[in-house]
Structure 1
Amino acid sequence: MKIHLLFPLILLIACSQAKEKQRLTQLEEEIRKLMNETEGDFALAFRSVDGEESELFFNEKETFHAASTMKTPVMVALFEQEAAGKFSLQDSILIRNSFKSILDGSTYQMDLGVDSQEALYKRIGENATLYELMYEMIVRSSNLATNILIEKVGAKNVTQLMRELGAEDIQVLRGVEDLKAYEAGLSNTTTALDMMLIMEAIAKHKVAGSKKMIDILSDQHFNDLIPKYLPKEVKIAHKTGAITGVQHDAAIVELPDGNRYVLVILSKNLTDEKAGKECIAKISQMIYNNIENL
């Protein structure tokens, strides 16, 4: 009698698994179609954080200019170095606009018209706490704050810390607007996989200050990529990045039921940045709408 009951149950599970696989395949096809319809190159890395682990990848190991997504690893390094007793994030530091190129040590300054947080330039010559600069670096993507902080923690130290988190390819070489280094091909780079691993480490509290970092990332000012089409009750802690032809977003997404996932979408060679941003926003919506099938 038990055997007779067990067979229909096995059949039901098999049918359910087949349907889930079919829905996942359909989702992958829809995402790939949208990517192909948008001029440019894309990469995606998705992984659930809570419950049964599920993953979805597209070109996850392809290298991209990191743009401002590299500011998240700098933040991780700041919290880790504070935990190691090297300084307090409440320590004061001088706001300055003079930095050295990693290529030849020559001095360069930030362009006021380029930085997304221009208000900080009004405070050059004053002091601010490391925490304040870190907050502006993430929430408003301040390039000036980034350069001050990356000199504080050391670019090589940031990259080494990312290696310890399992991110094997990301390279944090320098601050922002180091044109000599850029022209020599020395740029910060990442892959979607590495950025996913970094965000996952924060989500799982594997690094110092994870809760505080999630709070900071949740205050993000730029919300027209991964969050754009998601319901307001969904909590999103994320960091964007953009330069010419490049649009990125790396997020920890918390659903109303408390379950979370990490989603990273990178792009490059965009001929129409508006279309590229819309592609990223729609892919995020697709993932959210199909989360039960992932």
Structure 2
Amino acid sequence: MSTASVSTAATRRAAARINAAFADAGVTGRLHALDIDSGASISVAATQPVPTSSLHKVCLLAALYREDAAGRLDRTRQIDVSAAERTPGLSGLAVMRDAVRLSLRDLATLVVAVSDNAAADVLWREIGFDTVNRTMADLGLPDTIAVHDMAAIRDALLATPNLADPAALADVSVLNPELTNRSTPRQLAELFAAIWRDEVCTGELAGELRSVLGVQAWTHRLSSGFPFDDVRVSGKTATLPTIRAEAGVIEYPDGGRYAVAVFTRAASTAAVLPAADAVIGTAGRIAVDALRSH
């Protein structure tokens, strides 16, 4: 990878526009955008820790493919998942009624495509927290740490009597990055960059992992900033009360590749805040445009 930098003036202009977009949307935000090939980057509070929730599923998948590459795990192995042992959720296996049999890699596809919590927790049991955390450390991402599966995150939220009360959120452990799955916007962008640079695994495995990360159904966040038929957006969202996030990679037809991670937090506890979703795409686009202008 070559090295390059965006001028200080350009970085400040981009950061100011990003912060203004966050303010207009009624959120505070953090962002890191990285040119995967040159190493140039733009940051807004990108080294501050954040609770990752469903974004940690990308770490889980990276560990799955890295373990397969090392011969310690077979991603095509079939798993029987009974209806009784599934983590509740709003999509995927969680809303199905009968027993299923799927390979580990097809479970991974559900994890990305519809953020399937039940499929994710099968993989957490098969791979383990220690393996996922070791994988992140091996990739040079020591602040990216998992301590909860999706069932534990759900249980913590259900234990809060009134999530619509802003005062009640102060005591929710999964909103505190010191107590739950955590990373930083910088390290999440660096994880996606590592996947696209074949640093997690190589060859067919690397291509398959990138393909899996490209099947997400949700287009209302990062993808909304890049509404072009010839621009590909791969990524993964995460949602917690007041927190909306997405990290991924934007690929242009001229070969430009940019890893972006955006986290926002709203004062409102409303579950539906379209402006807070859309600003993730707006901020990502401002950052990528600045990197491409460089």
TM class by shorter chain equals 0.7 to 0.9
SS in 2 for 1:156: helix
Alignment partner for residue 260 of structure 1, among 257, 262, 270? 257
Other-structure match for 1:219: 215
2:102 is the counterpart of 1:131: no
2:197 is the counterpart of 1:204: yes
Distance 1:275 1:42 in 2: 13
Amino acid at match of 1:276: A
Specify whether residues 289 and 84 from structure 1 end up closer, same or farther in structure 2 by C-alpha distance, changes over 3 A only.
closer
Specify whether residues 212 and 198 from structure 1 end up closer, same or farther in structure 2 by C-alpha distance, changes over 3 A only.
same
Other-structure match for 2:42: 56
Could you state the TM-score of these two structures normalised by the residue count of structure 1?
Answer: 0.81
Amino acid at match of 1:44: L
Contact persistence 1:35–1:279 (CA under 8 A): yes
* Consecutive unaligned residues in structure 1, runs of 5 or more: 1-16, 100-108
Cα root mean square deviation, aligned: 2.4
SS in 2 for 1:266: strand
SS in 2 for 1:127: strand
| 1:270, distance to aligned residue in structure 2 (A) | 4.7
Specify whether residues 26 and 145 from structure 1 end up closer, same or farther in structure 2 by C-alpha distance, changes over 3 A only.
same
Contact persistence 1:64–1:267 (CA under 8 A): no
Contact persistence 1:82–1:89 (CA under 8 A): yes
Other-structure match for 1:121: 96
Amino acid at match of 2:180: S
| 1:210, distance to aligned residue in structure 2 (A) | 2.1
SS in 2 for 1:290: helix
Contact persistence 2:40–2:291 (CA under 8 A): no
Other-structure match for 1:282: 282
Distance 1:75 1:207 in 2: 10
| 1:248, distance to aligned residue in structure 2 (A) | 1.0
Specify whether residues 255 and 92 from structure 1 end up closer, same or farther in structure 2 by C-alpha distance, changes over 3 A only.
same
The C-alpha deviation readout for 1:176-211, integer Å capped at 9, x for no partner, is 132556668342122101111211110100012222
| 1:141, distance to aligned residue in structure 2 (A) | 0.8
Other-structure match for 1:237: 234
Amino acid at match of 1:72: V
2:185 is the counterpart of 1:192: yes
2:7 is the counterpart of 1:30: no
| 1:40, distance to aligned residue in structure 2 (A) | 3.0
Other-structure match for 2:168: none
| 1:222, distance to aligned residue in structure 2 (A) | 0.8
Distance 1:243 1:286 in 2: 25
| 1:74, distance to aligned residue in structure 2 (A) | 0.4
2:87 is the counterpart of 1:110: yes
| 1:118, distance to aligned residue in structure 2 (A) | 5.0
Distance 1:68 1:274 in 2: 19
| 1:153, distance to aligned residue in structure 2 (A) | 0.3
Amino acid at match of 2:113: V
Other-structure match for 2:142: 168
Distance 1:127 1:80 in 2: 23
Alignment partner for residue 43 of structure 1, among 20, 23, 30? 30
| 1:150, distance to aligned residue in structure 2 (A) | 0.6
Q: Which structure: larger Rg?
A: 1
The C-alpha deviation readout for 1:124-147, integer Å capped at 9, x for no partner, is x33211111111011111000000
| 1:116, distance to aligned residue in structure 2 (A) | 2.5
Contact persistence 1:64–1:268 (CA under 8 A): no
The C-alpha deviation readout for 1:138-177, integer Å capped at 9, x for no partner, is 1111000000001100012101210111112122112113
Could you state the TM-score of these two structures normalised by the residue count of structure 2?
Answer: 0.81
